[in-house]
Amino acid sequence: MAEPANIANNAAARAALRPVNWERFVTVMTNMGFGHDPDTPGSSVRFTPPPERGPPITFHKPHPDPTLYPNHIRAFGKRLKDNYGWTEEELLTFNRSLGV
């Protein structure tokens, strides 16, 4: 069972998320070593991780407004954690690098 302090910290971290522009997200992903393929069909965008991290992951670019809202950021974070086994600390560092 999670300790009360951890639950409070996680709730505070979730509440502190702010919207982020899609291009900022792409910049952070490429800075983390992911390749970026904007030419996939429709609104899907494929990100290819460094070879040791596993298979590519696809995210849908929001449209017509290219803003990622907290629900998007949390969902993307969960997928990154599920696909690449990132720890919560790595995801928090990722969120901080987004400026959220």
Q: Which sequence spans correspond to the domains of the chain?
A: 4-97
The pLDDT value given to residue 16: 61
pTM above 0.75, yes or no: no
The pLDDT value given to residue 90: 74
Beta bridge pairs of residue 59: 45
- Residue 28, class by beta-carbon neighbours within 10 Å (0-12 exposed, 13-18 middle, 19+ buried)? middle
Measured between alpha carbons, how far is 66 from 33 in angstroms, rounded to an integer?
Answer: 22
The pLDDT value given to residue 29: 86
Tokens in use for 53? 């991290």
Strands of the chain, DSSP E: 20-21, 35-37, 44-48, 57-60, 67-68
88 pLDDT exceeds 70?
A: no
Does the 4-97 domain belong in CATH 3.40.1440.10? no
